[in-house]
Amino acid sequence: MKNLYSSLPFLLWVYHYVSLCLFLQGAGTVNAAELGRAPDAETCDPSECHIPKCHCPSSSPPGNIEPSKTPQVILITFDDAVHSVNIDYFRAIFNPKYKNPNGCPIGGTFFVSDAADGFGLETQYEVAKELHGRGLEIAVHSLSHTYPEQWWSGNATYKDYVKEMVGQRRKISQRAGIPEGDLVGVRVPFMSIGGDNMYKALYDNNFVYDKSMLTGSPHFKDRSLPLFPYTLDFPPQVGTVCDNGRVGSLNCPRGSYPGFWAVPVNRPFRKEAGESCNGADALGCDFAEDEDVFEFYVHNFNLHYENNRAPLCLLLHSSWFKSHPEGVDIVKQFIEYVASYKDVYIITVHELVQWMKQPTDLSQIHNFKPWRTRCTGDEKSTDFSDLFLDFLNSPYVYFIFAIFGLFLLLFGRRCLWRCRRLLISVGKTTDGKTERVKIDY
């Protein structure tokens, strides 16, 4: 017994690290065995392409879920530098009081560049660390944010993309203390996609998704249903699925990147003008009144919610708040507006990709674990096995068992010796009464 008890802390350490290794092994991003597969068609063949590894571009929810049973996802994304000057905007929007229908705080994704934004402010990595600590997603938006935008679509080489995106992932990890495994997404500056130079660089370096591709007609009258995310196993159709318009659809990927996710930005529309307006933060849209921006959000929300429930993306820059501080209230107003819906979730882009790999309808979505990460601590499971695992994974358990093991090592032999004497010394008399018998050794 003494050996068993004294070795328990060691066994628990072994258990913990084996679990951790299995978890990390399961978090792989790209199946290396599929590398090098040549593209064999312009369009994706659903009979060859199955979730979780592959998914064709589609306006239907994944997993044959009916739209009415599909959670409506809203993505709030910010581009460019994060620093202490704009942290209060982020704290206000991602206030934990704003919750999804599963009771967990809403989420968002920050595509962080190292270079200064339009106000000359470079990223302060302690701010990225705080945002990540709040359960928000940090993703990559390049080191240099080089101007002009055509550099990314026309001049940047494969090596440039590796330097810019892998370099920024490493810098965020080192400076903000965020594991590189958590930095899985990319948005290229200006959404000026760089064709195969860009997508091969991201794919070769184990990024999980890109959030730079625009999709859908820029004209409201020609619009089609918005798309769900898809993998780039097959090249996307140019001009429809991949249509980045002003910087040229020629830079859509032509190669095959199995298992790599494209999370498209479905073009939002201005109600009155009938034309798309890419910046949901009204950059370049020339809204006359703040109310127009709120109506713009609601109009596009309805276009998605009342049709196929493809994800809606609010594409924001914190620099907009700097020039239009009232923008924070507009975004908060929209968050409060959709909070009245019990089937609308504001989550991170990576959480959307996880749902695409494991489509879950509204009846089960409350228990979908990847969407509950920001709930840690406010809802404890009553399942005994979960509670036991939580206990084993708590940092205090090793200390407790180490002390217990040390105690047994020092005093266990003496305790066992005394117990043995006590048991031997208790006997029964012939009339059934117990009596202690003194035994000398």
* Binding site residues, Zn ion, CB under 5 A: 79-80, 189
- CB nearer to Zn ion: give 72 or 244: 244
Q: What is the spatial distance between Cα 356 and Cα 378, in angstroms, rounded to a whole number?
A: 26
The 8 Å CB, 24+ separation contacts for 241-244 are 241/57, 241/215, 242/193, 242/213, 242/214, 242/215, 243/214, 243/215, 243/216, 243/217, 243/218, 244/153, 244/191, 244/192, 244/193, 244/212, 244/213, 244/214
Question: How many helices and strands, by DSSP H and E, does the chain display?
Answer: 13, 13
Q: 3-state class of 141 per DSSP?
A: coil
Q: Cβ of residue 327: shortest distance to Zn ion, in angstroms?
A: 17
How far, in Å, are 413, 418, 422, 426, 431 from residue 439 at the CA level? Answer: 20, 13, 10, 10, 21
Q: Report d(CA 120, CA 125) in Å as an integer.
A: 16
Q: Which residue, 152 or 355, is less far from Zn ion as judged by CB?
A: 152
Nearest approach, Cβ of residue 168 and Zn ion (Å): 12
Q: Identify the CA nearest to 166 among candidates 203, 211, 137, 196.
A: 203
Residue number with CB closer to Zn ion (115 or 201): 115
- Our CB check for Zn ion shows the closer of 107 and 189 to be 189
- Indicate the residue among 60 and 146 with the shorter CB distance to Zn ion: 146
Smaller CB distance to Zn ion: residue 54 or 188? 188
| Closest approach of Zn ion to the CB of residue 315, in Å | 10
Rounded Cα distance between 70 and 360, Å, is: 8
Task: Decide: 260 and 199 in contact? Cβ < 8 Å.
Answer: yes
> Is the CB of 80 or the CB of 281 nearer to Zn ion?
80
What spatial distance separates the first Cα and last Cα of the chain, rounded to whole Å?
Answer: 23
Nearest distance, CB of residue 314 and Zn ion, angstroms: 15
**Closest approach of Cβ 81 to Zn ion, in Å?**
9
Residue nearest to Zn ion (CB): 79
Q: How far is the CB of 166 from Zn ion (least distance, A)?
A: 18
Pairing of strands 109-112, 137-140: parallel
Instruction: Give the chain's largest Cα–Cα span.
Output: 104
Q: Nearest distance from residue 281's CB to Zn ion, in Å?
A: 12
The closest alpha carbon to 351, from 76, 60, 116, belongs to 76
Cβ at position 132, least distance to Zn ion in Å: 19
Token code pair at residue 423: 């048991």
Whole-number minimum distance, CB 117 to Zn ion, in Å? 8
C-beta closer to Zn ion: residue 79 or 210: 79
How far is it, in rounded angstroms, from Cα 100 to Cα 343? Answer: 9
Number of Cβ within 10 Å of residue 86's Cβ equals 22
Report the C-alpha gap between 7 and 179 in whole angstroms: 32
Closer residue to Zn ion in complex, CB, 30/186: 186
State in angstroms the smallest separation of the CB of 321 from Zn ion.
15
Among the listed residues 278, 141, 128, the one whose alpha carbon sits nearest the alpha carbon of residue 218: 278
Identity of the amino acid at 261: W
Contact between residue 393 and residue 16 where contact means Cβ atoms under 8 Å apart: yes
Residue closer to Zn ion, measured from CB, 212 or 348:
212
- For Zn ion, give the closer residue by CB, 79 or 292: 79
In angstroms, what is the minimal distance from the CB of 151 to Zn ion?
Answer: 13
152 backbone dihedrals φ, ψ, rounded to 5°: -70, -35
